[in-house]
Structure 1
Amino acid sequence: MEPFVSPNGNYLFFNNLNDGINTKLYYAIKVNDSTFNYEGELIGTNQTVTPHLDAVADLDINGNFYWTSTRNYPSELNNLFHGTFNAGKVSNIGRVQGDFNMNTPGWLIMDHGISLDGQFLYFNNARFDSANCQGPCETTLGIAEKENASTFNTLSNSESILQNINDANYIYYAPCISSDNLELYYTRYLKGQITADTVFEICVAVRSNSSSEFSIPRVLFSESISNLVEAPTLTVDKNIIYYHQKTTNSHKIMMRYRNSL
């Protein structure tokens, strides 16, 4: 369901079950920290012909909206889109270009996180092969910098900044960067066959300034797949984290207040 809370805290975006057949983006409006009233589909983002996937919302402080979409895939391999968000609608839609796109069949931008100022894109390249893998076969996190309204290019030191995070033994997704660019949250699980014992972990890695490498990650909380937790999103003041949790016969957006880090 991959929730995302807007920079002003007034909107909660989310997608429905990520089956890739009829996956759409929706939004709700804040009443208080733990209550958002459902409004409906996010106009402008969702395709109408199945199978389709429109998911993984991101929004910077300037109203630039980003999401993952299978529009015209695989004829066009760049599957990250951008537009302008205003009052429940996204307009001026286009593809996000840049060298962070693998431009290789089977590889997708599975997930992403935009910095508050919109200058840095934390992207997740994922390779899919349904004949040989359950879910993504492999993933890598990277960082790209904004060149213009529709283009991001990978930082020359992206690999070194994330060297303590990227580990070929794990599948990564749902990165979320804090408003000060010092805390990177994400979800991971061990690569291999997904079983009832597979554990999903919400992790965080930190750094002392916005240009240095991130620390060795710490697991904030984890659950086995039957109660999986995933896709953290942080308020601008860093006091609340929202995330998706699967429960018996239900999918819920949960929240926790910050105690310490």
Structure 2
Amino acid sequence: MRIKFIFQVSLILLFTFSCTSNGNENINSQTVYPEFGPEIEVIINGLSVDAMEPFISPDGNYLFFNNLNDGINTKLYYATKVNDSTFNFVRELTGANQSETPHLDAVADMDVNGNFYWTSTRNYPTELNNLFHGTFSFGNINDIGRVQGDFNMNTPGWLVMDHGISLDGQYLYFNNARFDDVNCLGPCETTLGIAKKINAFTFSTLPNSTTILQNINDQNYIYYAPCISSDYLEFYYTRYLKGEITSNTIFEICIAVRSNPMTSFSVPKVLFSETISNLIEAPTLTVDKNIIYYHKKFDDSYKIVMRFRS
């Protein structure tokens, strides 16, 4: 959950000059990574706010997203599909959004059975587990509750910043992040993990979670926005180097792969990278893996873009 993070990063651009750079990875030449074509802007007819943190529903008919992720009046919305790059804006996602500011309701996820997940500042910091679940039906989120489990740090300053649910709903890819507004812009440190579903409301961290992600977690980076493919073989996420965020900071959308869903992921590869002037984040993948969506900064607003798999 990027509370005020994107807003703070954007302010940097008002006082610094931007420049471009390319991220390089020392990747295993024996590993086969997918490739994607040119970037295409997604049109959401009738939308008048920023569009960030996209999630495409398993059936491909709904595009979920939130507006500006400033932690003040951040809400979840949805649009319906016209074609792969065009959607019609519908409205707010009823039931998911808080009514009183400041608040944040963001980062949509949903499994094939309509179980919906998102991050929320409801009653924070009185209650520290900030990942929520509900049931999606015709633009409404019902049966709302908190997701329980040992992946919740339950420590002031630590949040489930982001998450990715597997298609079958059995595995939660979580991102724990520590925030300290005095000493850090955005999260001070992060870690990715995997938890298995125990019941409708509870997940438990896998004993081998660290091993599965051993080639991905690196203390030199800040990680967020995990996304697991429908076949468990491709893992997407966003990262940038830990430290002061400047106009030269590069944000990278990365992928790690594996040939078997029971094994560890490969060394990651950078798919796309941009400095904060053209900030890119938050990949989401269609079930057939043929399209990747993410958001990008254009001048003073954020829009969703897409690429077809080559």
1:118 aligns with 2:207: no
Partner of 1:223: helix, strand, or coil? strand
Partner of 1:3: helix, strand, or coil? strand
1:245 aligns with 2:306: no
- Residue 39 of structure 1, CA deviation: 0.5
Partner of 1:226: helix, strand, or coil? helix
Q: Percent identity?
A: 79
1:166 aligns with 2:217: yes
1:229 aligns with 2:280: yes
User: Which residue of structure 2 aligns with residue 179 of structure 1?
Assistant: 230
User: Which residue of structure 2 aligns with residue 214 of structure 1?
Assistant: 265
1:1-261 to 2 correspondence within 5 Å? 1-259=52-310
- Residue 254 of structure 1, CA deviation: 0.2
* Gapped regions of structure 2 (runs ≥ 5): 1-51
Partner of 1:75: helix, strand, or coil? coil
Paired letter, 1:112:
H
Partner of 1:45: helix, strand, or coil? coil
Paired letter, 1:33:
D
Partner of 1:214: helix, strand, or coil? coil
* Cα shift readout 1:69-99 (whole Å, capped 9, x = no counterpart): 0000000000000000011110000000000
Relative contact order (alpha carbons < 8 A, sep ≥ 6): 1 or 2 greater? 2
Query: Structure 1: how far apart are the matches of 2:64 and 2:159?
Result: 21
Q: Considering only CA atoms, is the larger Rg found in Structure 1 or Structure 2?
A: 2
Partner of 1:2: helix, strand, or coil? strand
Query: Structure 1: how far apart are the matches of 2:121 and 2:279?
Result: 25
Partner of 2:162: helix, strand, or coil? strand
Normalised TM-score (structure 1): 0.99
Paired letter, 2:167:
L
Q: How many matched pairs?
A: 259
Partner of 1:145: helix, strand, or coil? strand
- Residue 201 of structure 1, CA deviation: 0.2
Paired letter, 1:191:
K
- Residue 40 of structure 1, CA deviation: 1.0
* Cα shift readout 1:186-225 (whole Å, capped 9, x = no counterpart): 0000011110000000000001111100000000010000
Paired letter, 2:162:
D
Paired letter, 1:209:
N
Query: Structure 1: how far apart are the matches of 2:68 and 2:223?
Result: 19
Query: Structure 1: how far apart are the matches of 2:126 and 2:261?
Result: 37
Please identify runs of 4+ aligned residues in structure 1 that moved more than 3 A.
none
Query: Structure 2: how far apart are the matches of 1:229 and 1:21?
Result: 21
Root mean square deviation, CA, Å: 0.4
Normalised TM-score (structure 2): 0.83
Query: Structure 2: how far apart are the matches of 1:194 and 1:118?
Result: 35
- Residue 250 of structure 1, CA deviation: 2.1
* Cα shift readout 1:153-177 (whole Å, capped 9, x = no counterpart): 1000000000000000000000000
Partner of 2:148: helix, strand, or coil? coil
Query: Structure 1: how far apart are the matches of 2:227 and 2:128?
Result: 23
User: Which residue of structure 1 aligns with residue 27 of structure 2?
Assistant: none
- Residue 251 of structure 1, CA deviation: 1.1
